[in-house]
Amino acid sequence: MRQHLLLSSLRGRFGLNDVGVLALVGGALCAIHILTAPFKPSLAFLAGFFLLPFALLAFAPIPWQWTGDDRRKTGLLRGLGQAILFNGLWIIPCLLFWGEATAPDPSALPPMGTPRPGAFAPVLGFGVFIWVLATGFGWIWAEKEATEAQERETAELLRERLEALVAARTEELSQKTRALEEALDALHHQSLTDPLTGLRNRRYLDLTLPEDVALACRAQRALGISAPERMAMNIDLVFLMVDMDHFKRVNDDFGHGAGDLVLCQLGEILRRAVRDTDSVIRWGGEEFLVVARNACREESPVLAERIRMQVSDWAFDIGQGRTLSLSCSVGYAVYPLTLGETDTIHWEDALDLADQCLYAAKRGGRNAWVGLAPNEQADLSQCTKAVLLDVEGALQKGLFKVHTSLIPARGIIWGHRG
């Protein structure tokens, strides 16, 4: 307990650490050892004896966190402690053996307290030499440790800076990559979008429709031609061609700006009239194509009439506070055209039939819709691509059924646009 009080007192009074306290105590013992060696051998031996365990503590390791001046000061104190140890290890044998060698006869020794000639100088000189030598080594070691610590600090700082630089560069590259991906997505979206109406264009149809056709054909083959309930199932594709009636008059009378407004509003009407899963495509000019996916062929007339009515009821804003009442014509066809075998008739053939139905509606007076659906009770094996070129002949054979809003339906004039 007293030892701890002594150490605590030295620490508090002089601001020393454990090594400093050790050096102070060891220095005092070394001074007693050196100064009393010529006069009081027993006291010198006792001082050297107690010096040894204290000086051994001078080799306690220095915490690696200490850097710079703290490490250098501690290294000096350690060198001091080592000098104390080396001096003690040297002087103790000198006191035990050197004195006897110079005075082998105990009766020849001078009385206690009488100086022995020449005894003090070599002991003190060699002690100072060892002290300086050990202190020098302590300084060198402290400088080496400080340099290594500085190198570690520099390496750690460089590593942190490099990691920060790499992280910043990685984030920058990530941002540029995201920007590039967004630009590519925007470019891809732009390539599939009509710039005026914001609807999809023909290129979009070419990319997506083959997959829709494959799904419809697969569902058709899975059911078989003997399934009567198949006609009411939502497994078909319906192509609806929509064309504005007398659109040229809008451009001629009010300008192309008014015509563009009409086309944009027509696109919005069609988007509202169909489902989110359906596609509205600007086919060209004032013509639009609606692709209804997973649709029921028996409900196709309902969709066609909905489109016709919503266009007819819309007040088209052409700017400057003016509105127009316009109408449209619709022609549609379903796909697959045949039940069972789906490879003989392609979706382009169904689209051509829808186009013929569109112009049949226009020839019938406009503001109307006309559609064709295969007759499930007929021999659809006769329905070939050559037959589809002659719609009137196919109707006479009973291969198709006509659905229309025209009255009477028998007055429909068929044929391609011309």
Specify whether the CB–CB gap between 244 and 334 falls below 8 A: no
- Cα separation, 104 vs 114, in Å, equals 17
The backbone region for 202, taken as left when phi is positive above 0, alpha when psi lies in -120 to 50, beta otherwise, is alpha
Annotated catalytic residue 286: yes
- Cα separation, 139 vs 283, in Å, equals 90
Paired tokens of 49: 């004896």
- Cα separation, 230 vs 220, in Å, equals 8
Give the dihedral of Cα atoms 140, 142, 147, 151; nearest 10 deg: 140
Query: From the candidates 163, 286, 341, 348, which is the catalytic residue?
Result: 286
Instruction: Please compute Rg for the chain using Cα positions.
Output: 54
Could you write out the DSSP letters of every residue in 362-399? Answer: HHTTSS-EEEEEE-TTS-GGG--HHHHT-HHHHHHTT-
Q: 129 forms bridges with which residues in the sheet?
A: none
Q: How far is CA 299 from CA 150, 231, 232, 306, 333, in A?
A: 84, 10, 8, 11, 12
Specify whether the CB–CB gap between 395 and 402 falls below 8 A: yes
Element (H, E) at 48: helix 41-56
Specify whether the CB–CB gap between 394 and 353 falls below 8 A: no
Sequence-distant (6+) residues with CB within 8 A of 408 are: none
Helices (H), 243-329: 247-254, 256-273, 300-313
Q: Which long-range contacts (CB under 8 A, 24 or more apart) does 132-135 make?
A: 132/83, 133/83, 133/86, 134/79, 134/80, 134/82, 134/83, 134/86, 135/76, 135/79, 135/80, 135/83
Specify whether the CB–CB gap between 374 and 350 falls below 8 A: no
The three-point CA angle 90-91-93 to 5° equals: 75
- Measured from the Cβ of residue 135, the count of other Cβ atoms closer than 10 Å reads 19
Specify whether the CB–CB gap between 303 and 403 falls below 8 A: no
- For the annotated catalytic residues, the residue numbers are 286
